[in-house]
Amino acid sequence: MNVIWRNCICRLRQGKVPHRCQSVIHPVAPLGSRILTNPAKVFEHNMWDYMQWSKEEEDEARRKVEENSATRVPPEDQVKFESDASKYWGTFYQTHKNKFFKNRNWLLREFPEILPHHQNTKEEVGESSWDHFRSNFSRMQGTEKHCGKSSVLSEPRSKGRADFPNRDLEEHSKGPGRTERFPGSDATFRILEVGCGAGNSVFPILNTLQNIPGSFLYCCDFASEAVELVKSHASYSEAHCSAFTHDVCDGGLAYPFPPGTLDVVLLVFVLSSIHPDRMQAVIHRLSELLKPGGVLLFRDHGRYDNAQLRFKKGRCLSENFYVRGDGTRAYFFTKGEIHHMFCCQAGLHEKQNLVDHRLQVNRKKQVKMHRVWVQGKFQKPLHWTQRS
What is the tens place of the pLDDT at every residue in 266-287? 999 999 999 999 999 999 999 9
Q: What pLDDT is attached to residue 22?
A: 30
Query: Are 117 and 159 within 8 A, CB to CB?
Result: no
Question: Which residues, listed in sequence order, are joined to residue 372 by a DSSP beta bridge?
Answer: 357
Q: What is the DSSP letter of 341?
A: I
Task: Please report whether residue 125 resides in a domain.
Answer: yes
Q: Check residue 103 and give its pLDDT.
A: 67
Per-residue model confidence (pLDDT) at position 41: 74
Please report how the helices 2-14 and 129-141 are oriented relative to each other, as an axis angle in degrees rounded to 10.
Answer: 130
Dihedral of CA 250/253/257/261: which sign? positive
Residue 318 has pLDDT above 50, yes or no: yes
Quick check: 306 pLDDT over 60?
A: yes
DSSP E strands in the chain: the ranges are 47-48, 189-194, 215-221, 241-245, 262-268, 290-301, 316-318, 321-323, 329-331, 349-362, 367-379
Instruction: Name the residue range of residue 124's domain.
Output: 55-379
Write phi, then psi, for 242 (nearest 5 degrees).
-130, 110
Q: Mean pLDDT across the stretch 313-338? A: 95
Q: Is residue 1 part of a domain?
A: no
> For residue 368, is it within any domain?
yes
Q: Kindly state whether residue 387 falls inside one of the protein's structural domains.
A: no
In this predicted structure, the answer to whether residue 38 has a pLDDT above a threshold of 90 is no
Split at pLDDT 50, 70, 90, the class of 352 is very high
Query: Would you report the helix, strand and coil content of the chain in percent, each value rounded to 5?
Result: 35, 20, 45
pLDDT, average across residues 301-323: 95
CATH number for 327: 3.40.50.150
Which residues are bridge partners to 251 per DSSP? Answer: none
Residue 40 lies in a domain: no
Contact call for residues 256 and 242 (beta carbons, < 8 A): yes
Query: What is the pLDDT, as a whole number, of residue 159?
Result: 37
d(CA 42, CA 4): 19
Tally of domains within the chain: 1
pLDDT at residue number 349: 97
Could you give the CA distance from residue 10 to residue 32 in angstroms, rounded to a whole number? 10
Q: Which of 59-73, 109-123, 265-279, 280-294 has the lowest mean pLDDT?
A: 109-123
**Between 267 and 76, the higher pLDDT residue:** 267
Alpha-helical regions (H) of 15-142? 55-68, 75-83, 85-96, 107-110, 129-141
Please state the rounded mean pLDDT for residues 326-339: 95
